Amino acid sequence: MPNLTAMECLLLSEHFKSETGMINMLQYAGQNTSDARCRKLCETMLQEHQQQFRSLAQYIEQMNY
């Protein structure tokens, strides 16, 4: 597979920043709420965004080999 183009790198970098921001926000929100439903929602969404982050990292790794 070809190496990533500059535009692809930029887009993926911004996606990483977005996912990192969401992960941080969901961790904070989940830890600082007393509402069980809200905490469960944050935990579920956190898992989804962590998976997206891992998938993105795997994609980048595959594209660079």
**pLDDT tens readout for residues 37-55:** 999 999 999 999 999 999 9
Residue 26 has pLDDT above 80, yes or no: yes
Q: What's the confidence (pLDDT) of residue 65?
A: 62
Better-predicted residue by pLDDT, 59 or 25:
25
Q: What's the confidence (pLDDT) of residue 28?
A: 96
- Cα separation, 35 vs 21, in Å, equals 22
Q: How far is C-alpha 48 from the chain's CA centre?
A: 8
Domain map of the chain by residue range?
A: 6-64
Q: What's the confidence (pLDDT) of residue 1?
A: 45
pTM over 0.85: no
User: Phi-psi bin for 46: left (phi > 0), alpha (psi -120 to 50), beta?
Assistant: alpha
